[in-house]
Amino acid sequence: MSLLVLTLLALATRVSAVPKAEPKETGCFLNVLGNGDMTSLFLNSSRKFPNPNPTYGTALVTFDENETLYVACPNVDPEWKYPLVPDGEEAKCVANTTIYALTSNKTLDFYSLLCVQKFRPYFYEHFSSAKCEFNFTIQYIAQKIAGEDVDIITLCFDKTQILPLYAKYTTNKWSANFVYYNPNINFSYVPDSLFDDLVPWRVYAQTKQTMENLGVFGYITDDVYLVPGQLAAYDDFLTQFQRDSTFHYANAPFQWNTVNSGNWKNVTSSIQWLVTEGIDLGDVTLLSGTLRIASLPNKGGRPVELFLSGDGRMPVPGWFWKLMIARTPQLAVVFFVYNNPYVEKSVVDEEFKTICKEDVLDILSWATVDNTDPKAGFTYACAVGRDYMVDETMREIVNNALDENSLVEVPSFRLAEAVKMPDGCYLDVVANAPSAPLVVNSSLQFPTPIGAKTTQVFFAQGETFYIGCPGGSFNYLLLADGEPALCHQDTTISTIKSQQIVDFNQVYCTLDQRLRPDLFEQVSDDGCENGGKIQSVGYSIDDQWVETYKICYNPSEMSILYVKYVTNQWMDDLKDYDPNEVPRVWSGIFQNDLEQIYNTIQPRIENLGVVGYITSDSYLAGGFLAPYYNFLSPFQRDTTFDMANAPLQWATVTAGNWQAMEDSMQWLLTMGKDFGDVTILGGTLGVADLPDSDGNPVDLYLVDGNLLPVARWFWKLMLSPSTSSGILFFVYNNPYVAKPQVDKEFSTNLCVDNVLGDITWLSGIDNLNPYSGFIYACVLDVSNIINPTMYEIVHNLLQKEGLTRVATNFNITRV
């Protein structure tokens, strides 16, 4: 009987984290990530990267007293004066975090060993006299520690075509623990080894010209182009030294950028989720490789194979594939992603039949891909078994991998039952955007997706939630104003009032653009800082209130103190949303004609005696405190166009440092690490002034000389309670004041210390140009806040979360 390794049939059930235990009294406890990206490399006595101890539920590795380990800082910056032998030396565990280094004859605290490398990525490569499939070259990407090779990735490489057949490596659940890693480093390669006389980055720089030399025109554009596609993915590893080794051109053949950010990323992320969060698969072997050569038609319509070195080498692969094998339990699957965004699916479907007997992608409910867009890379999955592949190359690779993993028995299918998804409904709440319905849970909150790589939310069988289409109509006889619904199973739901049983995936909400957004404003009895009042902005669903954000405002001055809302890493996952289609809603928050005021700003300013400051390039317009792109649901996004959320801001400030700060924070929350649910406050402070014709400063109030002010400062506060981290930015809202004056005002009136220079993830800031709006940053520590109003806001927020001071820099660098 041929071996058929169990294909993963269903979504793995999420498991709770292992409770943390107190470290034992003897031995050493070293955190692989203890010093972030400056943690020294250390190995166990077998010269292997050690796995953390599962008892503690962290990246903590344990050693017995007097147990051997190896410590190193490869490629150390010589100016850093690393206290041990940088290339590695043997050490012994003393106790807790204390080690004794034998060669250096030093006893020291492991965490005192800050490792700063001269450059990154840094790795070592060496070759084997043995060969892999088809007599190809075996190369190891490694680190050389204490004189011995420590292999990380094994490459099977075709030196004739200069193309990797595959990269082989091991991963496990611990790879997800390195949340601070910054992948924005350059690719590297070792010259005169695998690439012969070619320099990869030069080949990449000339891809468009080379393709045109082949007679292939018009396929490389500003939006679609070729990039290095990692076979061994950096986030399949725990330590920085392992992750950096993936940035080798030999591990990264040509891949279309849309495929790289599309289904290749989706496949990689799905496997990572299964390994790190789904079920405990132990050490998992991954082979990630290429198959066949891509082609595109020339002007005459004849297909031309894409060899991009200029001399018939370095081809663009036709397919990328990823094979996963777990030995205990025995589970395996192989994914194939088509690496050509210019071919129709029907053509790719036929080619896949020449690779594998059957596509089983549809039964892998944990695998999230997009097979509607050719640019994403059409994706397939195949069961893994001896001689199960149609393609001869893949058959040999898979058979050899099974032999190496000693898989000789047919696995029990009882395990498949153990990883079935919980009974209930998995609803992708934005899949049908821009016609996705509004969905909230029984607590009238927008639900959080079930995982980092999906926008599906889960409701248990029989659980109640609400569905609506405010300002529009459904394609079924559901109540547009909203009604409760019940989960049946998968995507089948029933509505309680309209008594319909429908497939959620087939429910579409079509909005009436004349009513959009059909939002409501609700004034609360609660007060807020500085004697303000609270107004909630959201929707009425089934006559119940669904809130998107709160506004703290001062009705006596007609000013907005702040807008408060919650966001998270999924804010960026709504792909089909056009903000230009959403009409502005002129709020009645101040019981005044806000639209008329905003349309007559210049004469109102000039009536104050302030002339010549508003021009076609420099003018006042609404600056959104809660931007639409901080929300996942299109209905949440629509509410941000309530103009009470948009106090007057100079347009150059909006497009300058305010936008740069917003973009950086969005990157941090969606790409930097998982900050959980994050509380954001965006607000204003003070009243801007400009000189009149006599040079006297005039406060810029737009109504009756003392109402509806132009804010002096805009500010944005971010707090992540789950990680105890946060930051407070201030942006000066006046392009006509010199920086020394603004610097003095900040340090005198707002914060004791400006920590802007410490924030390594902030990008695009221009603090030389006053038109950009000078920007500053404060730690979230009440002892650092000078302004009484801001003191009260920060104090109340931290007190509510049980915090006194939070981290600011997050150990994340954005390059």
Which residues are part of a known binding site for Mg(2+)?
A: 260
Longest dimension (CA), the chain: 97
Note whether 427 and 449 are within 8 A (CB). no
Residue that the structure tokens 């965006």 belong to: 682
Termini Cα distance of the chain: 54
Residue 193: partners with Cβ closer than 8 Å, 6 or more residues away: 125, 139
Note whether 306 and 214 are within 8 A (CB). yes
Measuring CA to CA, which residue among 713, 701, 606 is closest to residue 649? Answer: 713
Which residues sit opposite 715 in a β-bridge?
683, 730
Residue that the structure tokens 């998982």 belong to: 674
Q: What is the DSSP string of 559-598?
A: EEEEEEEEE-GGGG---S--GGGSPPB---TTSS-HHHHH
Residue that the structure tokens 């079935």 belong to: 420
Task: Give how far the C-alpha of residue 482 lies from the chain's centroid of Cα atoms, to the nearest Å.
Answer: 32
Q: Tell me the backbone φ, ψ of residue 794, rounded to 5 degrees.
A: -65, -45
In degrees, rounded to 5, the angle at the alpha carbon of residue 25 between the alpha carbons of residues 21 and 31 is: 60
| 3-class DSSP state of 757 | helix
Note whether 549 and 641 are within 8 A (CB). no
Distance CA 336, CA 259 (A): 12
Q: What is the DSSP string of 498-518?
A: T--EEEGGG--EEE-TTT-S-
Assign 3-class secondary structure to 377-403.
CCEEEECEECCCECCHHHHHHHHHHHH
Q: How many CB atoms lie within 10 A of CB 454?
A: 19
Measuring CA to CA, which residue among 624, 689, 678, 666 is closest to residue 797? Answer: 678
- List, in sequence order, the alpha helices (H) in 608-766: 634-639, 651-653, 659-667, 739-745
Note whether 7 and 360 are within 8 A (CB). yes
Distance CA 498, CA 675 (A): 39
Measuring CA to CA, which residue among 158, 356, 374 is closest to residue 258? Answer: 374
Half-sphere exposure of 188 (CA within 13 A, CB side): 16
Distance CA 530, CA 528 (A): 7
Encoded tokens for 796: 């109340």
Note whether 770 and 735 are within 8 A (CB). yes
| 3-class DSSP state of 276 | helix
